[in-house]
């Protein structure tokens, strides 16, 4: 017999997938790129290109790009999910190498339904500027994807988006708009909460223990809306740090649960788990392209030190480190379907409604002659709990996480 | 009807998965291994109709795998699938018994044709 808990979990899983999947006309499943000559200096681009492409299509109305870690799992997700099946699913594969200082990147678009190679493109980039390379690759991909989008629009002409599709295009949280765009993880939880609440209200006499969390079950790589506006060069210390710190965390949002409060029939305890981890492979590979003076590695950490003899640490950079401008803390916003925050958890020290859970997993200690970078390995699992009126929970459609510096948090709180 | 069985040897898991899914769709049976050493173990214990072999791999590269296959008297059509576009390397591989040389990124149609032709030749 299927237990209620299992059913609920299955329902949540299906509803989450439905909400997140019915989005685009074209889904691009982006695989890690092939580093053709096993060039260790640019090995990190294997995953880097995937991130850049996923970011590039984050705001596209017709195309959605997802990381495909394992193609067999991707195919299985598509097969299980009608929402994906109804869209066109293309795999993006790529390979890159350097030849006489020139970057050569091959892109290939393959239809996952027919395994037909739809398009191929090779791009050459002479500039050593990483931002230029990213733009060139994204532009090339646009050139091979755009004709498919036009085809798709033609085919779907006359069809209107369903309300479910519209939910995805939530507006930005107005309070954060003029600070900077920084949302690093988002998840739609409206359907799940609706179901939980409906179930809850149908059987008021039952007291339900909180469901155990299942890690990462519904998580999607939602590192979207990041502004990558740094001028980057792979061998400049400060610029490499800026680039890493622009997006160092991988964040997964677990499923929400609600629990009745014995003394308060109008409110519930809303709980959910968020996992934080450093994008260790990319971060480590990028750091290791720099000239390292020392490296210590333990079970839970990696520590790198850099010498002022090798790099000029500018006083501006040292000040920014000292002022904590590289220490990010999560601000978890529960939003309604219009993207407005109905409740917010600021998980940082020194704020008014502070709760202290999160410890930064990327730390820099700076001095004029040495610089130390400390990376925390593993996952930081944090269970967040909020007591909210049932009517407020009913409005929640999405949870999103912004990683903010303490200064930015103060600005947010002052608003 | 039995499926033709292909051994895919590449240290890049994504390349292996991509080829395996494609070949599965095209009606082949596939086995994946990520190193030349493992490939030789498989080839000694299981019959294969063809091998797709990468050249640049840690520990044992594709040319060394071909040499070892020769020494072990393993005669299976080997198609080199590689990012190396050096003519000399291609010639070396062919002299060691490789039957085709397909550059990466892989042209899937060409790969399928090569497999069909080379497996047919062997039969």
The answer to the question of residue A260 being in a domain is yes
Within an 8 Å CB–CB cutoff, is residue B26 touching chain A?
yes
Q: Which residues from B are below 8 Å from A31, CB to CB?
A: 14, 17-18
Q: Are A220 and A275 in contact (CB under 8 A)?
A: no
**Interval A339-383: pLDDT, tens:** 888 888 888 775 545 466 788 888 887 766 778 888 888 899 888
Q: Which residues from B are below 8 Å from A97, CB to CB?
A: 83
- The answer to whether the CB atoms of B83 and A70 lie below 8 A apart is no
DSSP state at residue A42: G
Q: Which of A29, A42, A68, A115 is the best residue to mutate to test the B interface, defined by the most B CB atoms within 10 Å of its own CB?
A: A115
The residue whose two tokens read 């000559």 is A37
Q: Would you call A103 exposed, middle or buried from its count of C-beta atoms within 10 A (0-12, 13-18, 19+)?
A: buried
pLDDT at residue A2 greater than cutoff 60: no
Q: Are residues A135 and A205 in the same domain?
A: no
Please tell me the pTM assigned to this model: 0.53
Token representation of residue B73: 């008297």
Q: Which phi and psi angles does B62 have, rounded to 5°?
A: -60, -40
**Interval B52-79: pLDDT, tens:** 999 888 889 999 999 999 999 998 999 9
Closest residue in A to B106 (Cα–Cα): A108
Within an 8 Å CB–CB cutoff, is residue B56 touching chain A?
yes
Q: How many pairs of residues across A and B have Cβ atoms under 8 Å apart?
A: 53
- Which of B22, B56, B107 lies closest to A115 in CB terms? B22
- The answer to whether the CB atoms of B83 and A32 lie below 8 A apart is no
How many domains in chain B? Answer: 1
How many residues belong to chain B? 123
- The answer to whether the CB atoms of A31 and B26 lie below 8 A apart is no
- The answer to whether the CB atoms of B108 and A117 lie below 8 A apart is yes
Listed residue (A75, A96, A90) closest to A145, CA to CA: A90
Whether omega for the bond prior to residue B105 falls within 30 degrees of 0, making it cis, is yes
| Number of neighbours of residue A155 by Cβ within 10 angstroms | 11
Q: Which of B8, B11, B13, B14 is the best residue to mutate to test the A interface, defined by the most A CB atoms within 10 Å of its own CB?
A: B14
Cα Rg for chain B, rounded, in angstroms? 13
- Residue B63, helix vs strand vs coil: helix
Q: Are A195 and A258 in contact (CB under 8 A)?
A: no
The answer to the question of residue A13 being in a domain is no
From CA A201, how far away is CA A351, in angstroms rounded? 35
- The answer to whether the CB atoms of B56 and A37 lie below 8 A apart is yes
Q: Are A104 and A124 in contact (CB under 8 A)?
A: yes
The pLDDT assigned to A308 comes to 75
The residue whose two tokens read 């980057």 is A232
From CA A242, how far away is CA A21, in angstroms rounded? 33
The pLDDT assigned to A173 comes to 36
Q: Can you point out the beta strands (E) in A231-352?
A: 249-253, 257-261, 264-278, 294-297, 301-307, 329-335, 341-346
User: Residue range A294-310: average pLDDT?
Assistant: 84
The residue whose two tokens read 């499943």 is A29
The pLDDT assigned to A110 comes to 93
Q: Would you call B60 exposed, middle or buried from its count of C-beta atoms within 10 A (0-12, 13-18, 19+)?
A: middle
Closest residue in B to A32 (Cα–Cα): B14
pLDDT at residue A337 greater than cutoff 70: yes
Closest residue in A to B108 (Cα–Cα): A117
Token representation of residue A154: 């033609």
Within an 8 Å CB–CB cutoff, is residue B123 touching chain A?
no
| CB within 8 Å of A336: residues ≥ 6 apart | A342, A395, A396, A397, A398
Q: Are A255 and A218 in contact (CB under 8 A)?
A: yes
The pLDDT assigned to B1 comes to 67
Last residue within a domain, chosen from A161, A190, A215:
A161
From CA A324, how far away is CA A310, in angstroms rounded? 24
Q: Are residues A252 and A289 in the same domain?
A: yes
pLDDT at residue A223 greater than cutoff 50: no
How many domains in chain A? Answer: 2
| Number of neighbours of residue A186 by Cβ within 10 angstroms | 25
Q: Are residues A139 and A219 in the same domain?
A: no
The answer to the question of residue A1 being in a domain is no
Q: Which residues from B are below 8 Å from A67, CB to CB?
A: none
Q: Are B51 and B7 in contact (CB under 8 A)?
A: yes
Which CATH number characterizes residue A127's domain? 3.40.50.10070
Q: Are residues A219 and A324 in the same domain?
A: yes
- Which of A34, A91, A108 lies closest to B12 in CB terms? A34
| Number of neighbours of residue A221 by Cβ within 10 angstroms | 17
**Interval A204-213: pLDDT, tens:** 444 333 333 3
The pLDDT assigned to A398 comes to 82
User: Residue range A298-321: average pLDDT?
Assistant: 79
The answer to the question of residue A375 being in a domain is yes
From CA A64, how far away is CA A56, in angstroms rounded? 9
Q: Are A27 and A66 in contact (CB under 8 A)?
A: yes
CA atoms lying within 13 Å on the CB side of residue A326: 26
Q: Are residues A205 and A137 in the same domain?
A: no
Within an 8 Å CB–CB cutoff, is residue B60 touching chain A?
no
| CB within 8 Å of A412: residues ≥ 6 apart | A175, A176, A179, A331, A346, A404
Which residues of A lie inside 8 Å of B (Cβ-Cβ)? Answer: 31-32, 34-38, 70-72, 75, 91, 93-95, 97, 106, 108, 110, 115, 117, 120
Last residue within a domain, chosen from A128, A161, A194:
A161
**Interval A40-80: pLDDT, tens:** 878 888 888 988 898 888 878 788 888 888 888 888 888 87
- The answer to whether the CB atoms of B15 and A120 lie below 8 A apart is no
Which CATH number characterizes residue B64's domain? 3.40.50.2300
**Interval A238-275: pLDDT, tens:** 777 777 776 788 888 888 888 877 777 778 888 888 89
Q: Are residues A290 and A386 in the same domain?
A: yes
The pLDDT assigned to A183 comes to 53
- Residue A390, helix vs strand vs coil: helix
The pLDDT assigned to B43 comes to 95
| CB within 8 Å of A240: residues ≥ 6 apart | A232, A234, A286, A287, A289, A290
Q: Are residues A339 and A378 in the same domain?
A: yes
Q: Would you call A119 exposed, middle or buried from its count of C-beta atoms within 10 A (0-12, 13-18, 19+)?
A: middle
Q: Who has greater pLDDT, B31 or A171?
A: B31
Q: Are residues A175 and A147 in the same domain?
A: no
Range of the domain at B14: 5-122
Closest residue in B to A38 (Cα–Cα): B56
pLDDT band at B45 (very low <50, low <70, confident <90, very high): very high
The pLDDT assigned to A219 comes to 27
The pLDDT assigned to A93 comes to 92
**Interval A89-148: pLDDT, tens:** 999 999 998 888 888 999 999 999 899 889 889 999 887 777 788 889 999 999 999 888
- The answer to whether the CB atoms of A93 and B105 lie below 8 A apart is yes
Q: Can you point out the beta strands (E) in B60-97?
A: 78-82
User: Residue range A173-177: average pLDDT?
Assistant: 36
Range of the domain at A365: 165-414
Within an 8 Å CB–CB cutoff, is residue B102 touching chain A?
no
Within an 8 Å CB–CB cutoff, is residue B59 touching chain A?
no
The answer to the question of residue A11 being in a domain is no
pLDDT band at B20 (very low <50, low <70, confident <90, very high): very high
- Which of A32, A34, A115 lies closest to B83 in CB terms? A34
* Distance to chain A for B35, nearest Cα, Å: 14
Give percent of chain A with pLDDT exceeding 90. 9
Q: Can you point out the beta strands (E) in A283-397?
A: 294-297, 301-307, 329-335, 341-346, 362-366, 370-376, 379-389
DSSP state at residue B73: T
Last residue within a domain, chosen from A136, A161, A186:
A161
pLDDT at residue B40 greater than cutoff 50: yes
Token representation of residue A169: 């295009």
The answer to the question of residue A364 being in a domain is yes
Q: Who has greater pLDDT, A135 or A156?
A: A135
- The answer to whether the CB atoms of A31 and B18 lie below 8 A apart is yes
């Amino acid at each position: 017999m299927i237990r209620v808990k299992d059913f609920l979990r299955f329902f949540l899983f299906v509803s989450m997938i439905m909400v997140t999947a019915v989005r685009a006309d074209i889904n691009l499943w982006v695989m890690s790129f092939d580093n053709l000559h096993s060039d260790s200096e640019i090995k990190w681009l294997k995953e880097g290109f995937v991130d850049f492409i996923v970011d590039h299509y984050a705001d596209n109305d017709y195309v959605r790009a997802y990381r495909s870690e394992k193609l067999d799992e991707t195919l299985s997700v598509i097969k299980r999910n009608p929402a994906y099946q109804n869209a066109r699913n293309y795999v993006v594969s790529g390979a890159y190498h350097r030849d006489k200082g020139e970057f050569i990147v091959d892109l290939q678009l393959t239809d996952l339904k027919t395994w037909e190679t739809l398009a191929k493109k090779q791009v050459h980039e002479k500039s050593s500027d990483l931002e230029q390379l990213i733009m060139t690759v994204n532009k090339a991909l646009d050139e091979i994807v755009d004709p498919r989008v036009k085809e798709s629009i033609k085919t779907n002409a006359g069809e209107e988006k369903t309300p479910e599709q519209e939910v995805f295009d939530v507006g930005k949280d107005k309070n954060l708009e003029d600070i900077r765009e920084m949302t690093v993880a988002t998840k739609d939880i409206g359907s799940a909460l609706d179901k939980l609440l409906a179930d809850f209200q149908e059987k008021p006499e039952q007291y339900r223990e909180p469901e155990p969390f299942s890690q990462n079950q519904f998580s999607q790589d939602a590192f979207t809306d990041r502004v990558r506006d740094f001028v980057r060069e792979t061998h400049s210390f400060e610029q490499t740090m800026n680039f890493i710190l622009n997006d160092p965390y991988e964040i997964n949002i677990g499923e929400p649960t609600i629990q009745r409060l014995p003394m308060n029939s109008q409110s519930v305890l809303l709980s959910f788990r968020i996992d934080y981890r450093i994008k260790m492979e990319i971060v480590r590979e990028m750091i290791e392209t720099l000239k390292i003076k020392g490296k210590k590695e333990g079970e839970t950490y990696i520590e790198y030190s850099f010498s002022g003899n090798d790099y000029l640490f500018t006083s501006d950079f040292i000040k920014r480190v000292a002022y904590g401008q590289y220490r990010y803390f999560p601000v978890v916003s529960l939003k309604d379907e219009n993207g407005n925050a109905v409740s917010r958890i600021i998980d940082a020290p020194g704020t008014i409604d502070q709760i202290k859970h999160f410890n930064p997993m990327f730390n820099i200690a700076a001095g004029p002659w040495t610089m130390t970078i400390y990376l925390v390995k593993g996952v930081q699992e944090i269970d967040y709990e909020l007591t909210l009126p049932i009517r407020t929970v009913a409005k929640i459609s999405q949870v999103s996480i912004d990683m903010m510096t303490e200064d930015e948090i103060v600005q947010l709180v002052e608003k | 009807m039995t499926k033709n069985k292909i051994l895919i040897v590449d240290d890049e898991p994504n390349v292996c998965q991509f080829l395996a899914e494609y070949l599965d769709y095209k009606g082949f049976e596939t086995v994946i291994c990520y190193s030349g050493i493992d490939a030789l173990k498989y080839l000694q214990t299981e019959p294969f109709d063809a091998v797709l072999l990468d050249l640049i791999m840690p520990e044992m590269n594709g040319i060394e795998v071909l040499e070892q296959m020769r020494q072990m008297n393993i005669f299976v059509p080997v198609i080199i699938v590689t990012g190396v576009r050096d003519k000399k390397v291609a010639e070396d591989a062919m002299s060691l018994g490789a039957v085709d040389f397909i550059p990466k990124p892989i042209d899937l149609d060409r790969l399928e044709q090569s497999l069909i032709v080379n497996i047919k030749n062997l039969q």
